[in-house]
Structure formats: C-alpha cells, structure tokens
Amino acid sequence: MPRVTLNVKLLDLTQNALALIYAACRQCYAEQFAGDIFDKIKEGQDKQAAFIRKIVSSGHESPLEHVKFTFAIEGVSRALTHQLVRHRMASYSQQSQRYVKENDFDYILPPSIENNPQAKTEFEKIMGQIQESYTKISHLLAGQGLSGETANQDARFVLPQAAETKIIVTMNCRELLHFFKHRCCARAQWEIRDLAEKMLEQAKVRLPEVFANAGAKCEALSFCPEGERFSCGRFPVKEKTK
Ligand SMILES: Cc1cc2nc3c(=O)[nH]c(=O)nc-3n(C[C@H](O)[C@H](O)[C@H](O)COP(=O)(O)OP(=O)(O)OC[C@H]3O[C@@H](n4cnc5c(N)ncnc54)[C@H](O)[C@@H]3O)c2cc1C
C-alpha cells in the first residue's frame, strides 16, 4: 500500500492542429470552401502560427475548440478527480473501483501531512486500518455469495479520498485555457494545481502558438481578480489598479 506521486502523460492531440484552427478562422471570412484549400493551408505553418497567436491574444477562442488534447493521469487522489470532473467541457474515463480491486490501494500523502511527523503517523495508521477493513468487508461480502464486482462496489465505501486513481481526460484548447486560468491560480488546491501545471508544460511544448502565455488568470489580466483576502500577492488586486 505505497504512497504514490503524480504522473501525467500527453497521449495525443488532434493532427494538423495549427492548420485546423487556421482553416476554422479562414472559413468564417473566405468565399472558398475550407475543404478545397486545406491541403494548401497545411503548408503555410509560419503564417498560421502568427495568425493564431493573434487570435488567442484577442480572445477569439471558438476556433480553438477544433483541437483536442488527451492526457493520461495517475498518482492522483479521488479528492483531485472530484474537482477535475467539475470541468464539464471535457471527456473522462476513470479507473473503476468496481472492476478493479483495492485490496492494496495506493494513496496520496499531502505535503503538509508529510512534513508533520505526528500527522503523518496518524495518516499512515488510518490508511492501514482502512486497508484491513476494506479487505475484510470484501471477503465477508464474497462469502455471502456476492460476485467480486458487487463486493468491490460496496466495500469501496470505506476507501478514503486519498485513494490513488487513474484517469484519462480530453479537453479542447479553449477548455484547457479555461482550466489553466482557474487551476494554475495560487488559490487552487495544491494537488490539482500541480496537475494543471504539468498539463500546461506539455501543452506549451506541443502547441506554443496557443499556450505560450496560458496560465493563471492574473497572468493575462495583470491584476488579481480574487480580491485582497484570497490574493497571493503576485499581482495587485483589481481595486488597486484603478
Ligand atoms: C479555487 C477554486 C475553488 C472552488 N471551490 C468550490 C467550492 O467550494 N464548491 C464547489 O462546488 N465548487 C468549487 N469550485 C469549482 C468551480 O465552482 C467550478 O465548478 C469548476 O471550477 C468548473 O468551472 P466552470 O464551471 O467554469 O468550468 P467548465 O465546466 O469547465 O465549463 C467551462 C465554461 O463553459 C461554460 N459552461 C459550462 N457549463 C455551463 C452551463 N451549464 N451553463 C452555462 N455555461 C456553462 C461556462 O462559461 C464555464 O466557465 C472551485 C474552483 C476553484 C478554481
């Protein structure tokens, strides 16, 4: 039942991403059919890159919806994925606690608890106890004649939010920009912020034209919209910019 850490891998993104975004923008204003000019568009990378940087900075984001990124994520808690799936403009596939036994579940140890020896001892003690209870309950349910899945789906009710999970998420570029604005912010909970920062690093490498300046909302605004109480102080709060 080891402690585990975050691992994020970009599985794939839409092919010809730049050409696709560019074609979507062009179709709005061009008389020609994008289908007829797409092969030619694919050749003009430099022109497209400059154009796309411009539309991103001007906030015309709907053409970005045509390009999607898919990330595989492991070493995160159920507490994290509960927050992640609140982002509705996305697709998810998460490891099942019904079909996958949690007899030896891994867990996420928050840094604050890791740095406090007494809290850490208490945390690790309860993880061990939960493990024992989970295994005992699933054996009792199986002995009662329930199938493995049925026993798992009920035994999992004792599992903690710290339990490790794996999930695949697909978001289009517009949703990713939105996700980064909220989840790279210092106000976001540390675990989902770590995840967002790792996703952003990889998105920047693959599509800098869209993501070079992405991040917490303050970075685009040059002020903090969170107000005095919640601001991390990196940028002045909105009221102080007037
Ligand atoms: C720091 C922080 C603290 C939070 N604290 C809490 C909390 O205490 N409790 C809690 O419940 N949640 C909390 N949340 C979650 C938050 O309220 C949102 O549910 C989550 O961030 C998803 O954001 P979203 O709805 O903007 O985005 P998405 O679901 O990703 O949607 C993207 C955008 O699409 C549009 N959209 C999507 N669905 C609709 C719709 N049905 N109608 C109209 N427009 C739509 C909106 O413009 C939305 O911004 C917190 C989030 C953060 C970042």
Closest ligand 1 atom to residue 188 Cα is: 1
- pLDDT above 90: residue 62: yes
**Over residues 12-35, mean pLDDT:** 93
d(CA 105, CA 221) in angstroms, rounded, equals 42
**Over residues 86-111, mean pLDDT:** 96
Kindly compute the dihedral angle of the four CA atoms of residues 229, 234, 238, 242, in this order, to the nearest 10 degrees: 130
Active-site residue identified among 86, 183, 187, 206: 183
d(CA 226, CA 184) in angstroms, rounded, equals 13
| Residue 70 pLDDT | 98
- pLDDT above 80: residue 3: no
CA of 196 relative to ligand 1 center, distance in Å: 15
In sequence order, which residues have a C-beta less than 8 Å from that of residue 138 and are 6 or more positions away?
A: 101, 103, 151, 152, 155
Going by alpha carbons, the residue nearest to atom 17 of ligand 1 is 86
Closest ligand 1 atom to residue 187 Cα is: 1
Is 3 part of the annotated catalytic residue set?
Answer: no
In sequence order, which residues have a C-beta less than 8 Å from that of residue 116 and are 6 or more positions away?
A: none
d(CA 193, CA 183) in angstroms, rounded, equals 5
More confident: 28 or 123: 123
Work out the mean pLDDT of the chain and round it to a whole number: 94
**Over residues 208-219, mean pLDDT:** 94
| Residue 242 pLDDT | 66
Considering the entire predicted model, what is its pTM? 0.95
**Over residues 69-79, mean pLDDT:** 98
